[in-house]
Chains A and B, each alone.
Chain A
């Protein structure tokens, strides 16, 4: 008596199940080995099982390779760097524009305070961007170190009378118009 049973075994390789953008790709990732089992009942009552590996997923899709995934995520994180660069460039332009106008109309003291505030705002944004960059990789929460920047700015303005408080705070908030412009220009 001879029975033939075809069984597909799904070999789950967890290290490869990373890119789940499409279901088909994920399924192709999961089906690593297809095995055909022949069950044959011997005359003495025993069961003889013959296995044959028909298809092995040794030639993997390069998109599923973990090294190529790492390199593609590196390419995608360049997008994040580009966003930062765009925001910082826009903030620099706004800083130059506002410092020039303040220096022309309100005097050098206000202009210098505005410039110091704007530079501290850029530093704050850079620290925040670094915290967001580390989120999920080396840290589970975004750090609060960047909040020390406005604290130090207000303390410095209270300590040094040459540094005006209101222009410094307005300069510190100059990164926000750049963020709004960037947010509106996002597709």
Chain B
């Protein structure tokens, strides 16, 4: 792998993780805030709120995982490496 490909892969890996984690991070924070407020207001609905929060987190965090996988593939299993 030449130096330009290596540098581009490292920059792309950083961007993939960094930019890909912004949106899910904000979304998870607001979802957790709403869930905790909801549990505090209605403790009897804790099971449903936590279940919905779990599903939402799983969907949101998969976006982070996509970026993470792309970054790791670029770093450790780069298909453009000669």
Interface residues of A (CB under 8 A from B): 18-21, 69, 72-73, 76-80, 83-84, 125, 128-129, 132-133, 135-136, 141-142, 146-147, 150-151, 154-155, 157-158, 165, 169, 173, 175-176, 179, 182-183, 186
Contact = CB atoms under 8 A, between A and B. Distances in A.
A122 B28 CA distance: 20
A183 B64 CA distance: 20
Interface in B65-82: 65, 68-69, 72-73, 76-77
Interface residues of B, number: 33
A173 to B, nearest CB: 7
Contact of A151 (B54, B68, B77): B68
A154 B73 contact: yes
A73 B57 contact: no
Contacts, number: 94
A128 B42 contact: no
Q: Is the interface of A mostly helix, strand, loop or mixed?
A: helix
Nearest to A178: B58
Nearest to B47: A79
Given A154-B69, A154-B76, A158-B77, A21 B61 contact: no
Contact of B32 (A73, A135, A147, A165): A135
A135 B42 CA distance: 16
B54 A80 contact: yes
A135 B76 contact: no
Given A79-B48, A150-B72, A182-B55, 12 more contacts: A19-B43, A21-B42, A73-B46, A76-B48, A77-B50, A79-B47, A84-B54, A125-B58, A129-B54, A147-B64, A155-B76, A176-B62
Contact of A78 (B47, B61, B65, B77): B47
Contact of A132 (B53, B68, B69): B53
Contact of B42 (A20, A77, A83, A182): A20
